[in-house]
Amino acid sequence: MVEGASPELLRELLNEYEELIRDRTPDDWNTAQPGLRRIEIVEFLASIGLVPPDEIIVWWEWQGGHATGRPYSIRHPHLTLDSAKSVRETSGVGFGEFEWNPSWLPVAGEGPKFNIAVDCSGDHTPPLVRAISPEEASTTHDVDSVFQVVSLCTPVAWWIEAIRQGWYFVDENQNWQLRWAELPPEWKRTLLV
């Protein structure tokens, strides 16, 4: 876990992550939509019954998401607000074991197949972050999830370190690849890398 997690630290980490991506695959960055204004984020999420933690606001202020229909090779593509809402709704919002807990919001991923989600209940500051994967039977309801960390700062810091260590790298075809076996076990356990 990252010590000193905060919205300010998240902003710094996201900017560092952006630099690393731009340096290695500038075309990936061309699929990114401009960041949104705070009021846009708050109003949009209020319309689906969520009060976003400050880290969620920083997340979408930094980048509005990846344009749909455009190719990207980044491992965890940043969802647009519309995509986040769609993933949440198509996963069946509710309190049943296999439904999407209404207080959780996907922020990155590949739709129903895999997502990174953040707890917007307000019960945790910084918020809980979890990998949601049907293959791994992880859900937004399991409180003791091994797929969970505290703060979006944690996975972003891991992504940065993985690039620096060469665990997350760009191959000869300009696609991002991951050397899974080389990752620290505590990272692999969460599925957030």
Residues 147 and 157: their CA atoms lie apart, in Å, by 16
Is residue 87 over pLDDT 80?
A: yes
Phi-psi label, residue 83: left if phi above 0, alpha if psi -120 to 50, beta otherwise: alpha
Tokens standing for 51?
Answer: 């009060």
Res 30: pLDDT: 73
Q: Which domains does the chain have, with CATH numbers?
A: 7-190 (3.40.1580.10)
At 29-40, the pLDDT tens digits run: 777 788 999 999
Q: What contacts 181, CB < 8 A, 6 or more positions away?
A: none
**Predicted model pTM:** 0.90
What is the separation, in whole angstroms, between the first and last Cα of the chain? Answer: 13
Residues 1 and 175: their CA atoms lie apart, in Å, by 28
Is residue 129 over pLDDT 60?
A: yes
At 175-192, the pLDDT tens digits run: 888 999 999 999 998 888
Angle among Cα 39, 54, 159 to the nearest 5 degrees reads 115
Among 113-117, 131-135, 136-140, 187-191, name the one with the lowest average pLDDT: 136-140
Neighbour count for residue 11 (Cβ, 10 Å): 16
Res 15: pLDDT: 95
